[in-house]
Amino acid sequence: MRDPVALRTLHVPGRPLVLPNAWDASSARAVAAAGFPVVATTSAGVAEALGFEDGEAAPVEEMLAAARRIASAVDIPVTVDFERGYRLGPEEIAAALVEAGASGCNLEDTDRATGALVPVADQAAWLARICSADLVVNARIDIFLRDRTTPQLGLVPDALERARAYAEAGAACVYPIGLADDDALRAFLADAPAPANVLARPGDDLGRLAELGVARISFGSGFFRLALDAVETALRGAR
């Protein structure tokens, strides 16, 4: 069900939207049946279920077909992890996601060709062309993934510069993926220009993240990995 307005209003600091990411129609139905108001997809889970690696190795047509099946399987909004667009232009990205039934999307700021961060101004201009469509854009900030040697608190000013540019471009939510240090997270949230998404792991203390002021919590491929672990354990038992 496409409902970008409902999706946008669920991003409330302190009362976070919790998104256990799905990878196919069955897992999406399970998320909806458990009472979650939105289904998010995991690019890694979707790609691996299709037989490809994460990182835009899957054909865009197959990723969009999977998104379409997921959106058709549930009566709640779906937000799609679309990496950095699978080499489509920004208007193509927006049109394809809307056609697939998505209410929102995650979009990254890593250049897939080089592995480097896209310059802030370039990424903001690119996002603005997608945000002009009827989509709730969760703008991923990859600085904490790209630099694992600098203490996270020292990266917060650069992350906030990106967050401000992306929010001004129209992003409804900013996603400093990999930001886990409490002091750095507090510093980021204190000056975040838009609701913030944090990556959690199954079993993490979500109440603590809510108290810090997080507005959205997603699990990436966490539940997909849990499902695979359960299957592998069952298979070992069957042998």
Q: Determine phi and psi for 51, rounding to 5 degrees.
A: 95, 20
Rounded Cα–Cα distance for residues 110 and 112 (Å): 6
Confidence of residue 186 (pLDDT cuts 50, 70, 90): very high
CATH superfamily membership of 4-177+184-233: Phosphoenolpyruvate-binding domains (3.20.20.60)
Tokens of 28: 């999406």
Contact yes or no for 219/201 (Cβ under 8 A): yes
Nearest CA among 78, 68, 137, 135 for reference residue 109:
137
Q: Where are the beta strands (DSSP E) in 60-108?
A: 78-81, 104-107
Q: Where are the domains of the chain?
A: 4-177+184-233
| pTM assigned to the model | 0.96
pLDDT at 47: 98
pLDDT of 203? 87
pLDDT at 90 over 90: yes
pLDDT > 70 fraction of the chain, expressed in percent and rounded: 100
Q: What is the pLDDT of residues 91-136, one digit of tens each?
A: 999 999 999 999 999 999 999 999 999 999 999 999 999 999 999 9
User: What does residue 185 show for φ and ψ, rounded to 5 degrees?
Assistant: -65, -45
Chain mean pLDDT for the chain: 97
pLDDT digits (tens, 9 = 90+) for 26-68: 999 999 999 999 999 999 999 999 999 999 999 999 999 999 9
E strand or H helix at 32? helix 25-33
